[in-house]
Structure 1
Amino acid sequence: MNEASVFHDGERTIQALAGETTIADRNIAMLSDTVIGGARPFIARQFMAVLASTDAAGAVWASVIFGKPGFLHTDDRHAIAIDLPHKERDLADPLWENMAAIADVGMLFIELGSRRRYRVNGTVRRLDGCGAEVAIREAYPNCPKYIQRRHLRQLGEPRLPVQAAHGTVLRGGAANIVARADTIFLASRHERTGADASHRGGQPGFVKLVDDTTLRIPDYRGNSLFNTLGNIEADGRAGIAILDFENGQVLQLTGSATVLWNQDDPHGETGGTRRYWEFKVASWILRDLPHALQWEYLDASPFNPVAA
């Protein structure tokens, strides 16, 4: 692959505005259309994955799925299998209907305890009662920055169906989950390259509630590829998933996002980039997780900016 064919106009625009085009051209060498050898066992031992998908109306969603290690695997390095039978799926999550409607998906395999992550973007080529299979278009590792370490101590059996609430404004329990968050997962999409799933982390409270439909998130220094912000620049539709680690819930938000440049940052919230992005909520789903999970918090990322 060459960088001219990989980066779309949105990514190129953001790279140029950030002054990081040269770095992006160098870092794109890690991109592949197959899973690298060392990532195959990494994927197979995961119990959690983040997926980005798009519903029939065009709204973008971030989802978090769980299963016993081995439910995610790649046998030929060209596709990812998700072995999650129909009876174990949380159908309150829009993911499964979305994959049937629009085949593009983004996948993030993230091991919070080791701060390792691996991204795969592709196309659903099988979706049936046994699970799904995603043909890989892009695969690459991510740096370990901004991940708060947590260790999963117990993964219970599925308890379905789950309770779910819906809304359009963030108040009460939904607002509290946002205010406490130190980890969020972000879904975005581009017409040519499809859906993408990514991670953002920081000190608790790094996601600010501007009002009851608007979030403001600092954008720290990363790998300079700007896949997510590039998608936002080109499209604007986005989704966010926030795990409530203590209470066993997940908040899924869908809406639109905008990148903000050269913002006042007197307290150093952005780590020097002076760059934020704002997310406007169109609707949300607050669900109990289908599995009883017990997490042990270990420590915060040493790279998190600490506001003065």
Structure 2
Amino acid sequence: MELINMDRRPKNPLDLPPGLLKKIGLGIAALLVILIGFSSFYTVQEQERAAILTFGKYTNETTAGLHFKWPYPIQQVIIVPAELTQKIYIGYRQVGDVVTPVDEEAMMITGDENIVSADAVVQWKISNIRDYLYNIDNPEQFLRNAASSSIRSVIGSEKLDYAITDGKTVIQDKVRERLLELQGRYNTGMQIIDIKFQDIEPPIGQVSDAFREVTNAREEKNTKINNAAKYENDKIPKARGEAQALLENAEGQKKSRILNAQGDVAQFNAIFAEYSKNPGVTESRLIMETLERILPKAKIFISESSGDTVKYLPINELLRGSGTTAGAASGSAQGGTAK
């Protein structure tokens, strides 16, 4: 007899091998751990800073380096180039070495109802991340509009002649003050480092040529003034130095002559004192010294003609002799006549 299996029910497709659900769960958990790990660590570069948002609210800032945060949606990180100096171009756009004019920004009306083309560059950086992210919607566009408005306001109060010649630096400082005032009023979180005009040009055509000639003439005038000032600064100190040197030289000669005169007086007083003690000896010595000085090569004889026989004393020979003989001869010669 053949046995027939009456249980022909189809197998349940959900019947899985034992342990498969556990493996799937472990895989999902590992994937979640990996995703959380990747989303919990972030890196801030050297010229950047990061704002930490906890449940969408600003809570902290971090500087350069590797940092940890709670995964989204608990915490979120917004990285901004807060340490980088950035530029905004007014009146033109520059990408690399390519410069593209933007006439609608550059063309402005002066106080005397003339038109000028003003190009400027604004250097700025982020000073407060919280204000930068929350107080204004588009910070760069706001800065561009504020700079353009400040430039138009200042140039609109100045005359064309002044704007394109001597007033460029003054206008630049006024624009910077107005721009700083706007940034402080709206708390934009942006720091204005500097604003510089690249060029302020007069209208195109004959008027442009005329103003260019005026500008060139003023530049030549300023050049000549600077050269004259340079010449003055070179000559006047030199002349003062020479005058001072002459005064000091005269003062030195004056002191030298006074000292020489005082020495001569002292010498005369000393000789006079000795002369007062023995006028005859001093007189003879002075005569001998004077003759030796004015007649160094002359032959000197002392003679006496009071008697029938002329007596003379050869001084030169005696002076070449010994000191003792010379002294004795000088003593015996007193009262003689020098010829």
TM-score (norm 1): 0.18
- Name the one with the larger helix percent: 2
Rg larger in structure: 2
- Larger RCO (CA within 8 A; separation ≥ 6): 1
TM-score (norm 2): 0.17
